[in-house]
Structure 1
Amino acid sequence: MPPSSLRVVYAFAREMHPKTTDVFIEYGTAGFRTKASLLEHVVYRMGLLAVIRSRVKNGRTIGIMITASHNLEPDNGVKLIDPEGEMLEQSWEEIATRLANVSDNDLEATTVEVIKQVNADMGLKASVFIGMDTRYTSPRLAAAAVHGVMALKGTAKEFGIVTTPILHYCVRCRNDNTYGTPTEEGYYEKIVGAFKNIRAKLPVHGSYNTTLYVDGANGVGGKKLNIIRKSLDGELDLVLYNLGGNGGKLNLNCGADFVKVSQTPPVGVEHAPFQRVASLDGDGDRLVYYYLDDKCNKMHLLDGDKIATLLASYVTELLKACEATDLKLGLVQTAYANGASTKYITEDLKVPVSCVKTGVKHLHHAAQSYDIGVYFEANGHGTVLYSDKAKTTIRRIAQEGEPEQRKAAQLLLNFIDMTNETVGDAISDLFLVETVLCARGQNVKEWMEAYTDLPCRQLKVTVQDRNAISTADAERRCTAPEGLQSRIDELVAAYKSGRSFVRPSGTEDVVRVYAEADTQENADKLAAQVSQAVFDLAGGVGDRPLA
């Protein structure tokens, strides 16, 4: 494609998607995410970048997802999906940031520079899949992405409203037809089909109850579960709340992030004692569970740590039953993982643990170093990865092993098919959790009793520049500003089982504070004291530390 034919790049920008703000926006942990009103020119340019990326990948399909996940409705965002359904290659994040922030007048020249820099063959065909969440601003932004694809003569396929994990899945399938069919229906056939297959082999027993109450965060995940529940044939009875009607606002006082951070139940859900409730986030890539006590006045949270340990322990059981002793299983966490979960994994489950920086891209990469890698952030975003070696070994045992080995291997093959390996997926993870609870005949209280979390608290502090905070050791230690880590160490030392860390948010303009201690009162006190330290030493905004 000669430079003269790139004039349409500037024409689309000037006439339809002009850059109207000087606000600098950076491609972060989850792509670009900010107020929707600031994003139209950015999304148009990501359409351009997706086409270039597709051509660098020899015409393989790239994904563009329009979503701000767990953020409130006025926000929106955009992220690119690479050919295997994984996050955009990290080295391209700087390119995305540069392209998003240049002026309209410089856009054409910068596009030419990027094409040369990455050595893209602009004569190749280019394919881009585009999906969006339920925000009222998403259709306009999706249209901008389409125009970006058109401007560089790529082919766009629009999926409309889908969960983020469904788009990741479809991108993977389009580039690898052995993984599945690249449609929403193909996703249901594989994930839900595997769930029904495995449940046919697992009779309901013990204290497990097939009724599951679900908080859909007034987002897309609840809508998709509403479609799925009609095909479950009674294997799971879904009672759905917060589906977006009756004036419910996306993620407002509901959804996985609200439940996790506030440690309170969502609005809009009818509760009974010990009722098992699953909360999804707005775009369907996070999942947490909870239940209320006998008086319905105290909530017990089962977050990503609890889900990770449940899945890892069950897969470990099946591997032992298969006698697949040469397969190495490991679990990946972040600094947000509760200290009690890490102790339980290493001492009780005897499973190795890696700790990495916050962000799914870091967990996903680390999980690939194991034959079977389980990764979850405490916020409920995670999945299980299976290497080719693991899949080949398990298939062989399913065909050639002794009867009991074959039985366990068949269950594990169904478990693999039920897993969305491309990214954390609330719907897939929900079916995995329900499978394990059914297999063990456990209710939610029995699941909770595997180990006891240390009480914790998360807070956020508004500062003049969140990037004044620098961290090391998988974000567990603060290297700047000077004096902050020593102050945190002093505060932590005053509490039994105390631990705290701070980090600049990857999705909001705040500093996040995490603390845990032996009691909830002490965890709350420690979090407040560390927040004050951040406010004092990192340039807090306003007259108080807590955002």
Structure 2
Amino acid sequence: PFTAQHQSKNHLHTMTAPAVLSPLAPSEDGVRSLIRRHPIPDALEDIGPSPSGKAKMTYGYGTAGFRYPHAVLPPAVVRVGMFAAIRSASLGGEEVGIMITASHNPEADNGVKLADPDGGMLAADWEPRAVELVNTDAEDDAVAFIRKTCRDFGWINPFGGGSAPQGTAMCAVVHVGRDTRFHSPLLADLAIAGVRSLGAIAIDHGVVTTPQLHHFVMHSNAHRLPNVSPQRLDEGGYLETICGSYAALMRTASIGSDGDSLRTRRTLLVDCACGVGGLKVPLIQSTLKRLRLTGGVELDAVNLPGNGPLNEGCGAEFVQKNRLRPKIYGDHHSGAAKGGITYGASLDGDADRVVFHYDKQCSKSGMSFRLLDGDKIAALVTGFIQEELRYLQSAGIGIGIRCGIVQTAYANGASTSYLRDVV
């Protein structure tokens, strides 16, 4: 079902409205048909044998969702669509999301992960249920799982019964987004088919970054938003949120005694990993221009979709692991890029990860590559906020406001010590 397609280099950097697909009446026959047409495949040798000893593939859900070679994903994605509809209905119609992406993985891989109404990850206690349904091969077992799970939260008869051929739809809405992999459109369509088979509304956002999908989900549940955050449901609102915040920050920059300041226009080379970021960075640039921001950075996006293989020799994962500057594909990059601009950023394939990097002149060995990964970025941002708070508090403003930072178990120990003992 998958055919590799070369994408055009002449991308249109425009915003498109999502497609709202009306619900179908939930039908047991429809669910059975989808399950039959997408049976679970045999286990892949390079993934390893099924833990249960069966010959069938066993899917596991982790931080990245279900992530595997794209050819084995259709059965999982169809079932995830059904599961997302159930999850939304279980919360009284709060809207949830599905993202089709394998992030920084090679282009041959893909994945599917779920977003809860708060814009965060699927609740941990629901992950085992997702795994159970996705690994259910027999249509009778899948229907039984759906009936039981729906019954657990009060949807007694999702498929009808007796003389009623169809069930009664519960309120459920699922947002669907995808990255630029050539197999993502088909997988997104399968997820949407699963969503609609249980009577839920599917909102197809098309090609978006993972952070955008999570933003759309959170902003669609207005009661989940902090009081200080206006509801912004579309891509334009997302861009206004991040660009407006950046512009507000830059307007606080002061001019030093040497006449220089952060308002001086600089160029930031953005390596988009040949992924979706290459479609969105130009939209950020155009939004900043509409805000008439003086100074700040000029974003020079390189490694756009179609310029080269996704995440190969470029992107945040490659740069961080190899401590190397990214390869620049294609002929789109500007003269500044050709000349070897010293300061840059690298996104990953779905633009939910960023690292910064630059070359520093060393007296003995020439230019030295420097990486600003998540730990360093967090330390720099925290140090800046702490400095601003100290300034405010010295002026009698902001008394009692404190800055906190959350790190995971993967954080660099030195960064934790620095944040705790120095910042």
Equivalent position amino acid for 2:97 in 1: G
Q: Which runs of 5+ in 1 are unaligned?
A: 350-547
Structure 2 equivalent of residue 169 of structure 1: 215
Distance 1:137 1:63 in 2: 19
CA distance in 2: counterparts of 1:348 and 1:120, whole angstroms: 54
Shift of 1:101: 0.5
Q: CA deviation at 1:69?
A: 0.7
CA contact (8 A) 1:259 1:266 kept: yes
Please report how far the alpha carbon of residue 300 of structure 1 lies from its aligned counterpart in structure 2 after TM superposition: 0.9
Cα distance in 2 between the residues matched to 1:149 and 1:335: 35
| Partner of residue 301 from structure 2, selected from 228, 240, 251 | 240
Aligned-pair identity in percent equals: 41
Pairwise CA distance, 1:273 = 7.2
Q: Which amino acid aligns with 1:8?
A: G
Once the two structures are superposed, what CA deviation does each residue of 1:283-316 show, in whole Å capped at 9, x if it has no partner?
A: 0110101112337753111100111011111222
Aligned residues, how many? 345
Alignment partner of 1:13 is 2:35? yes
In the superposition, the TM-score normalised over structure 1's length comes to 0.60
Distance 1:185 1:5, change over 3 A: same
In structure 2, the residue matched to 1:201 is 252
- Structure 1 distance, partners of 2:385, 2:266, is 21
TM-aligned CA distance change 1:274 to 1:268, over 3 Å: closer
Q: 1:274: Cα distance to partner? A: 7.5
Question: 1:49 and 1:264 mapped to 2: Cα distance?
Answer: 41
In structure 2, distance between residues paired with 1:132 and 1:330 = 33
Residue type matched to 2:349 in 1?
G
In the TM superposition, what whole-angstrom CA distance separates every residue of 1:35-55 from its partner, at most 9, and x where no partner exists? Answer: 111111111111111111111
Partners in 2 of 1:196 and 1:60 — Cα distance? 33
* Aligned partner letter, 1:30: A
Write the deviation string for residues 319-368 of structure 1: whole angstroms up to 9, x where unpaired. Answer: 3334334334322223432332222111111xxxxxxxxxxxxxxxxxxx
- Separation (CA, whole Å) in 1 of partners of 2:26 and 2:309: 46
Aligned-residue RMSD, C-alpha:
2.3
Name the counterpart of 1:283.
350
Q: Where do 1:1-150 residues align within 5 Å?
A: 5-15=27-37, 17-21=38-42, 22-105=56-139, 106-120=141-155, 123-150=169-196
After TM superposition, the score normalised by the length of structure 2 is 0.76
1:253–1:266 Cα contact (<8 Å) kept: yes
Q: Give matches, 1:213-228, under 5 Å.
A: 213-228=269-284
- Checking the alignment, whether the CA contact within 8 Å between 1:271 and 1:296 is kept in structure 2 is no
Supply the AA of the counterpart residue of 1:134: T
1:204–1:46 CA distance, 2 compared to 1 (3 A):
farther
Per the TM alignment, residue 117 of structure 1 is displaced from its structure 2 partner at its CA by 3.7
Structure 1 distance, partners of 2:126, 2:255, is 48
Q: Is the 8 A contact 2:254 2:261 kept in 1?
A: no
Q: Per the alignment, do residues 272 and 335 of structure 1 end up closer, same or farther by CA in structure 2, a change over 3 Å counting? A: farther
CA contact (8 A) 1:217 1:279 kept: yes
Give a deviation string over 1:50-81, Cα, whole Å, max 9, x none: 11111111111110100111111001001111
Please state which structure has a larger fraction of its residues in helix: 1
Q: Is the 8 A contact 2:272 2:315 kept in 1?
A: yes
- The alpha-carbon deviation at position 216 of structure 1 amounts to 0.6
Amino acid at match of 1:7: D
Structure with higher RCO (Cα < 8 A, 6+ apart): 2
Number of the residue aligned with 1:430: none
Distance in 2 (CA, whole Å) between partners of 1:251 and 1:145 is 24
SS of match in other structure, 1:329: coil
- Partner residue in 2 for 1:477: none
Which residue among 147, 152, 155 is the counterpart of 2:198?
Answer: 152
Looking at structure 1, the residues matched to 255 and 352 of structure 2 have their Cα atoms a distance apart, in angstroms, of: 28
Contact 1:7 1:108 in 2 (8 A): no
Contact 1:273-1:293 at 8 Å conserved across structures: no
Deviations 1:260-285 (A, max 9, x none): 11111111174767721111111011
CA distance in 2, matches of 1:20, 1:342: 44
Counterpart for residue 45 of structure 2 = none
Given the superposition, is the C-alpha separation of residues 153 and 74 from structure 1 closer, same or farther in structure 2, using an over 3 Å criterion?
same
Structure 2 unaligned residues grouped into runs of 5+: 1-24, 43-55, 159-168, 290-294, 330-336
1:458 matched to which residue of 2? none
State the alpha-carbon separation in 1 of the partners of residues 409 and 125 from structure 2.
Answer: 24
Given that residues 272 and 292 in structure 1 are in contact (C-alpha distance below 8 angstroms), is that contact kept between their aligned partners in structure 2?
no
> Which position in structure 1 is the counterpart of 2:417?
343
Q: Does 1:249 align with 2:315?
A: no
Aligned equivalents of 1:151, 1:225: Cα separation in 2: 36
3-state secondary structure, aligned to 2:405: strand
Shift of the 118–265 alpha-carbon distance from structure 1 to 2, 3 Å rule, reads farther
User: Which SS does the other structure have where 1:116 is aligned?
Assistant: helix
Structure 1 residues 146-184: Cα deviation after superposition (integer angstroms, max 9, x where no partner): 101111000001000000000100111110175421111
Could you say what secondary structure the match of 1:10 adopts? Answer: helix
Deviations 1:465-503 (A, max 9, x none): xxxxxxxxxxxxxxxxxxxxxxxxxxxxxxxxxxxxxxx
Aligned equivalent of 1:537 = none
1:273 and 1:291 in contact (8 A); partners too = no
- Structure 2 residue 237 is matched with structure 1 residue 186: yes
Aligned pair partner of 2:378 in 299, 308, 315: 308
Contact (CA 8 Å) 2:170, 2:200: kept in 1 or not?
no
2:352 partner SS: coil
Deviations along 1:521-545, one digit per CA (max 9) or x if unpaired, are xxxxxxxxxxxxxxxxxxxxxxxxx
Offset, 1:244: 2.2
Q: How many angstroms apart in 2 are the aligned matches of 1:319 and 1:49?
A: 45
Q: Structure 1 residues 259 and 112, CA, compared in 2 at 3 Å: closer, same or farther?
A: same
Distance 1:293 1:271 in 2: 18
The 1-side partners of 2:388 and 2:26 are apart by 60
Note if 1:321 corresponds to 2:391. yes
* Distance in 2, Cα, partners of 1:100 & 1:280: 30
Equivalent-residue separation in structure 1 for 2:338 and 2:415 (angstroms): 27
Residue of structure 2 in register with 1:374 after alignment: none
Amino acid aligned to 2:388: L
